[in-house]
Structure 1
Amino acid sequence: MSAHPHAHHGPTSWREASAATLHCLTGCAIGEVAGMVIGTALGLGTDAVVLLSVVLAFAAGYALTVGSVRRAGLALGAALGVAFAADTVSILVMEVIDNSAMVLVPGAMDAGLGTVLFRASLAGSLALAFVVTVPVNRWLMSRGRGHAVVHAMH
């Protein structure tokens, strides 16, 4: 077993899984908000806004992880590999949940960025995505996958 507490396989605490999910949520929120702002400013339809938001959420999530592991000394290629291994499932689950929630709230996608309906729906959808993704990350991390890969780099 490694001396590093996060490098083990086996039970992962809810706190560790929550911290990993919060990291993921940060990237997803950056991408989601950017996608909603850009898509709305360009007058794109709901499907295009969702697609743009998802692409930007993945880009922002991967960028946060790449930056983190690059600071730990990894070369860019290795850092990209770690980011893909660590974040893909987490971001995918989070994006499916938060975008589905946004689309399912009547009028939220058409409400406009400055409205309470839009902002409350976005905040609620991200919170729901966090709650659903924490157990996914806990399961992955307990098997040495997902964010456990990043923790092993620190």
Structure 2
Amino acid sequence: MGTTAVPPLLAFGVVVGGLAAILGAVGKKLQASAVGVAVFAATVSVMALAMTPIAQTGLEGAAAMGAFGLVVAGLVAVFGLLGSALNVAIPGMIAFGLTIVAVGAGMALAEGFIRSLPPVIQQLGETFTQVAASIADAVSQIVSVIGDT
């Protein structure tokens, strides 16, 4: 996936996570009223607006949206199956999500360092090769001087 899709995907993830938290908290009440249907429609509208920047990234963004849609569908099925038992797990799920965001941020911060490693490793290899050649030459000269005496 291109780097142009990353910020919209993060924003979309935040939007969907927030909406999932809201719908999870008031899901049963929403099912019982017309207001719930209106809230659900508004939720879908917000998700559609959040998808627009992702869709503009091209085929990679569309593929990412499709994959994300499958994940959300899986989550909906799990939430529907487990229902209110998930309420107990909400703090853990939020902590896990924040951990994932922190890992992503850490990887983004480390990108410059990681990109600089190949030239450094190459230079170290060249230096070690030169040092080994110099040591071999020095040993050869010492042996030839000792051998002549």
Structure 2 length-normalised TM: 0.37
Q: Higher relative contact order by CA 8 Å / sep ≥ 6: 1 or 2? A: 1
Structure 1 length-normalised TM: 0.36
Structure with the higher fraction of residues in helix conformation = 2
